[in-house]
Amino acid sequence: MSDEFILEVKNLKKYFLAGRPALFSRTEQYVHAVDDVDLQLRRGEVIALVGESGCGKSTLALTLMGLENATEGSIFFEGRDITHLTDRERKSTRQRIQMVFQDPYESLNPTQTIEEIVTEPLVVHGLAGDHGERQAHVVRALEDAGLKPAEEYMHRFPHQLSGGQRQRVVIASALVLEPHLLLADEPVSMLDVSIRAEIINLLADLRESRGISVIFITHDLGTVGYFADRVAVMYLGRIVEIGSMREVLTDPKHPYAQALLSVIPVPNPRLRRKRMILQGETPNPIELPVGCRFHPRCPVAMNICKESDPRLLPISETHRAACLLLAK
Amino acid sequence: MKRYRYLLKKVSWSAFTILFVLILNFFLFRVLPGDPVKAGTHDPRFKKENQEAMRVRFGLDKPVINCFETLNPIKVGDCWINPFETQFFIYIRNLVQGELGISYHTNGPVADILVERLWNTLLLIGAGQILSIIVGILFGLFAAWKARTVIDYSALITGLVTWSLPTFWLGIILLFWGSGHGFPIGGRITPGTSSYPLSYQIADIAKHMVLPTLTYTIVYMGEYLLVMRSSLMDVLSEDYILTAKAKGLSTFQILKDHALKNAMLPIVTIIAINLGFTVAGAIQIEAVFSWPGLGGAVYEALERRDYPVLQGVFLLIAVSVVIANLIADLMYSYLDPRVQTE
């Protein structure tokens, strides 16, 4: 375990029992939500996890948070194996890994004031002894999250705030615990486009000022470019390409990553690019295709793709992709 | 400020509703076919003169309202009658003076009948209601907590079965069972014990209450159980519960601080509606166990066309339903901060 990495994920799998194919069938079927994921995150690093809906990126986040139990594999956080912990054992870890959920309209309890929401984590973890100290922490977290002056917001209820303000409250209630790792599960997808940049800038600032590592989950490659150091592209529960932001965005190797990238809108209307529109639907994650799991939709599939399941192959020191084209 | 305006709005709406009921109450029973004078006594020896005398005594000879002789069958009368001489005006004047009228049947004041019956009903149905709320909510909570386990499914099935049981059927079954185990089979007190010491009388009433209260609790528990279960399961699937878990709250803290307050909203509505109707009594239970409550009073008064009693009971029911709803609205504004600012 090197000290360099804050988070190390090894062969992580998360399967959900989906029932049986027939009423009296003996075999059980599983949804392969996360299927053999390896990931390493350095201190202060921001990694963007990109993929379409249902590719397992949210399940990965929930498993890292310990909100879902991993089926197989291991998760090391700051050198400690946190894969299977009881709630009691996990409590100290919870303080250091915090999560921002997708929908700020759902993730705030409507009956609590903003102050109560942001104070609660401090109380639960027994941080900041007296009332004054606690309040100081809350004010600082709110102002760091861009709600200034904090006093103006503290006594309001969530329904009295806009979507962007709510998401700032969610971020503040994560920040108040001074986490080392922040999991942001599509934190801007429910917000107006005009607000998105503000929230992303906020996360970028926090990373600068507090040195927090961030896993930024999104289905929109367009928002990644702003502040991610590295990008990981997920498809059907597996990382198919991972590399530095520049490498993946300018020179994607996996056909799926190329397709995702080709449909990002470009601000220049005269610039015409060839869009790569994928054919067919995402395969059912219960019965995965044999061979490469992308082959039924892949425009450059070869015969061998139906038989052999590619592993991540190195392209450069930091850039890897799981495509048989690279093996040749 | 907003809170007071909300309060004022709710209270004035309640007052308006009660006023509407007051007026409706008067006509509601007078359009029913049947003659109050004849309905009480099915005796052929009851002479014409005596019938007339009774009409005069209760003011039934007066026109119901201007331009209407009587509403049954609706027959337009003279519009030039002194409006202060109509039954409607007398009804309103009596009400303003706090007078509910005299029962045609017992010749006693309606208020006395109501008060006696109301206490009986509150005693029985109130106890049943409180028990079913407590038992139902606890079981519902437990079922939602242990969602999709054997405990949950058995609670679900129990709730569905007890809720759909016919009240009178369960009452009769329990009556059969109870009569073999030393429980009294009906009434509120054992006849002839009114001179016994108070402690004996209280124990006697309690004994009489066991079977009907049990029936009521079993039948109404199911509703609370099912609503509590589904409401709590809804809340537990919300993102803020997941957020709370991610923040490190224990299951108990999540239930106590986040889930319960939000899950109680639908329950408060049902409790309020049911509490209002509690006053109306459960006619089936009162009939099976010969319990002298308000439900029975309505039934008897309807048979005898005893307008003053009917008016009184319905006014009482309406007022209690309106007040229960008002309390529910106020509870809502306490439980859910979104309500006040609407």
Long-range contacts of A270-274 (CB under 8 A, 24+ apart): none
Best mutation target, A58, A109, A117, A190, to test chain B (most B CBs within 10 A): A109
Are the Cβ atoms of A121 and B248 closer than 8 angstroms? yes
- Over residues B21-75, the pLDDT tens digits come to 888 888 888 877 777 777 766 677 778 888 888 888 888 877 787 777 666 666 7
C-beta of residue B168 within 8 angstroms of C-beta of residue B287? yes
**Cis ω before A149 (30° cut-off from 0):** yes
Are the Cβ atoms of A111 and B249 closer than 8 angstroms? no
Give me B21's structure tokens.
Answer: 């009921």
Rounded CA gap, B46 and B52, in Å?
A: 11
Q: List the single residue in B with minimal CA-CA distance to A176.
A: B247
Which residues does A268 contact at the CB level (< 8 Å), separation at least 6? none
Are the Cβ atoms of A67 and B239 closer than 8 angstroms? no
Chain B, 77-106: which have a CB under 8 Å from a chain A CB?
none
- Over residues B245-298, the pLDDT tens digits come to 888 888 888 998 899 988 988 898 888 888 877 777 678 888 889 888 888 888
Averaged pLDDT for residues A70-74: 92
Tell me the chain A residues in contact with residue B251 when contact means C-beta distances shorter than 8 Å.
Answer: 87
Cα radius of gyration rounded to whole Å, chain B? 25
Give me the percent of chain B exceeding a pLDDT of 70: 94
Rounded CA gap, A34 and A47, in Å?
A: 18
Of residues B238, B242, B248, nearest to A91 (C-beta): B248
Are the Cβ atoms of A111 and B257 closer than 8 angstroms? no
Please state, in angstroms and as integers, the Cα–Cα distance from residue B342 to each residue in A159, B7, B265, B338, following that order. 11, 13, 16, 7
Tell me the chain B residues in contact with residue A166 when contact means C-beta distances shorter than 8 Å.
Answer: none
Checking if the pLDDT of A272 tops 70, the result is no
Q: Which residue has the higher pLDDT, B9 or B282?
A: B9
pLDDT of res. B107: 85
- Over residues A138-188, the pLDDT tens digits come to 999 999 898 989 999 999 999 999 999 999 999 999 999 999 999 999 888
Is residue A197 very low, low, confident or very high in pLDDT (cuts 50, 70, 90)? confident
Beta bridge partners of A238: A235
Tell me the chain B residues in contact with residue A120 when contact means C-beta distances shorter than 8 Å.
Answer: 244, 247, 249, 257
C-beta of residue B320 within 8 angstroms of C-beta of residue B118? no
- Over residues A16-52, the pLDDT tens digits come to 988 777 777 777 888 889 989 999 999 989 999 998 8
Chain B, 202-261: which have a CB under 8 Å from a chain A CB?
238-240, 242-251, 253, 257-258, 261
Best mutation target, A108, A120, A155, to test chain B (most B CBs within 10 A): A120
Tell me the chain A residues in contact with residue B338 when contact means C-beta distances shorter than 8 Å.
Answer: 110, 157, 159
Are the Cβ atoms of B247 and A106 closer than 8 angstroms? no
- Whole-model pTM: value is 0.79
- Give the Cβ contact number of residue A209 at 10 Å: 9
Q: List the single residue in A with minimal CA-CA distance to B341.
A: A160
Tell me the chain B residues in contact with residue A101 when contact means C-beta distances shorter than 8 Å.
Answer: 239, 242-243
Tell me the chain B residues in contact with residue A121 when contact means C-beta distances shorter than 8 Å.
Answer: 247-248
pLDDT of res. A113: 92
pLDDT of res. B53: 83
Best mutation target, A111, A116, A118, A182, to test chain B (most B CBs within 10 A): A111
Q: Left, alpha or beta for A66 (phi > 0: left; psi -120 to 50: alpha)?
A: left
Tell me the chain A residues in contact with residue B240 when contact means C-beta distances shorter than 8 Å.
Answer: 106-109
Give me A290's structure tokens.
Answer: 């044999």
Angle at Cα A281 formed by Cα A280 and Cα A286, nearest 5°? 135
- Over residues B153-167, the pLDDT tens digits come to 999 999 999 999 998
Nearest to B310, CA basis, from B100, B2, B70:
B100
Give me the percent of chain B exceeding a pLDDT of 90: 26
Catalogue all structural domains in chain B, each as residue range(s) with its CATH number: 110-341 (1.10.3720.10)
Averaged pLDDT for residues B68-86: 71
- Over residues B326-340, the pLDDT tens digits come to 888 888 888 888 876
- Over residues A83-125, the pLDDT tens digits come to 988 888 888 889 999 999 988 988 999 989 999 999 999 998 9
Is residue B341 very low, low, confident or very high in pLDDT (cuts 50, 70, 90)? low
Checking if the pLDDT of B342 tops 50, the result is no
pLDDT of res. B301: 85
Are the Cβ atoms of B338 and A110 closer than 8 angstroms? yes
Are the Cβ atoms of A125 and B248 closer than 8 angstroms? yes
Are the Cβ atoms of B250 and A120 closer than 8 angstroms? no
Which residues does A179 contact at the CB level (< 8 Å), separation at least 6? A95, A96, A97, A98, A212
From the centroid of its chain, how far is CA B203?
A: 26
Of residues B242, B250, B262, nearest to A111 (C-beta): B262
Three-class HEC string of A109-174: CCCCCHHHHHHHHHHHCCCCCCHHHHHHHHHHHHHHCCCCCHHHHHCCCHHHCCHHHHHHHHHHHH
Torsion sign (Cα): A277, A283, A289, A294: positive
ipTM over 0.85: no
At residue B108, the 3 state secondary structure works out as coil
- Over residues B306-328, the pLDDT tens digits come to 888 888 888 888 888 898 888 88
At residue B163, the 3 state secondary structure works out as helix
Of residues A124, A159, A160, nearest to B247 (C-beta): A124
Three-class HEC string of chain A: CCCCEEEEEEEEEEEEEEECCCCCCCCCEEEEEEEEEEEEEECCCEEEEECCCCCCHHHHHHHHCCCCCCCEEEEEECCEECCCCCHHHHHHHHHHEEEECCCCCCCCCCCCCHHHHHHHHHHHCCCCCCHHHHHHHHHHHHHHCCCCCHHHHHCCCHHHCCHHHHHHHHHHHHHCCCCCEEEEECCCCCCCHHHHHHHHHHHHHHHHHHCCEEEEEECCHHHHCCCCCEEEEEECCEEEEEEEHHHHHHCCCCHHHHHHHHCCCCCCCCCCCCCCCCCCCCCCCCCCCCCCCCHHHCCCCCHHHHCCCCCCEECCCCCEECCHHHHC
Tell me the chain A residues in contact with residue B249 when contact means C-beta distances shorter than 8 Å.
Answer: 120, 124
pLDDT of res. B102: 86
C-beta of residue B78 within 8 angstroms of C-beta of residue B63? yes
Checking if the pLDDT of B221 tops 90, the result is yes
C-beta of residue B131 within 8 angstroms of C-beta of residue B217? yes
Rounded CA gap, A110 and B227, in Å?
A: 20
pLDDT of res. A1: 45
Of residues B240, B247, B253, nearest to A94 (C-beta): B247
Nearest to B89, CA basis, from B17, B23, B34:
B23
